[in-house]
């Protein structure tokens, strides 16, 4: 798990972060690195936590969701996950998130990203009550477009 607090401000990111905590889930180290750079540039979250798999994400969430002292202060506001993950994929993660949301312990918005054209998965993804879908690699313009869809203050 990679934790990054207080993204560095830049000329294009002189705004308040839209989210307190963001989970970034991607198994590819290069994509993870590039996505983190874009998210930091956009000042999207005060804290970005990078996780390499569904298993690591669920371990993190269950540890924080079930810890009454930590939750909800340590829960993410936004989960940005790659669609194509090894082993358990994003659909397995979405199923687990649905259960946590039904138990009212998780309220995070979920955005799915993929290098594969997302129209192939759009109907399947829409049934999971995700906030948005976006292509990879992330771009600053793409992140700004995502945030304008569901965050009125951005």
State both tokens at 9: 């401000």
DSSP state at residue 127: T
Residue 35 confidence class, pLDDT cut points 50, 70, 90: very high
CATH number at residue 55: 3.40.50.2300
**Does 2 score more than 70 pLDDT?**
no
How many domains, the chain? 1
Nearest to 36 by CA among 73, 5, 74: 5
What is the pTM for the complete model shown?
Answer: 0.81
The three-state DSSP-derived secondary structure of 72-126 is CCCCCCEEEEECCCCCCCHHHHHHHHHHHHHCCCCCCEEEEEECCCHHHCHHHHH
**Does 7 score more than 70 pLDDT?**
no
Residue 22 vs residue 133, higher pLDDT? 22
Using the structure block, give the residue that is written with the tokens 């039904």.
Answer: 102
Q: Is 43 left (phi over 0), alpha (psi -120 to 50) or beta?
A: left
The predicted-structure confidence for 107-145, as pLDDT tens digits, reads as follows 888 888 888 776 666 677 667 777 777 888 898 888 887
Q: What is the extent of the structural domain holding 112?
A: 2-150
| pLDDT value of residue 124 | 73
The predicted-structure confidence for 52-86, as pLDDT tens digits, reads as follows 999 999 998 888 766 666 656 778 889 999 988 88
Chain-wide mean pLDDT for the chain?
78
């Amino acid at each position: 798990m990679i934790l990054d607090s207080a993204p560095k401000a830049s000329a294009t990111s002189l705004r308040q972060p839209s989210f307190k905590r963001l989970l970034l889930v991607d198994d590819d180290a290069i994509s993870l690195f590039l996505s983190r750079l874009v998210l930091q540039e956009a000042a999207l979250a005060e804290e970005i936590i990078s996780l390499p798999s569904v298993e690591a994400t669920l371990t993190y969430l269950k540890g924080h969701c079930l810890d009454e002292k930590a939750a909800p202060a340590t829960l993410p506001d936004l989960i940005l996950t790659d669609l194509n993950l090894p082993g358990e994929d994003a659909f397995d993660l979405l199923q687990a998130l649905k259960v946590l949301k039904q138990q009212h312990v998780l309220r995070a918005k979920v955005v799915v990203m993929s290098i594969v054209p997302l129209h192939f998965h759009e109907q399947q993804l829409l049934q999971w009550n995700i906030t948005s879908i976006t292509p990879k690699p992330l771009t600053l313009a793409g992140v700004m477009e995502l945030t304008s869809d569901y965050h009125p203050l951005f």
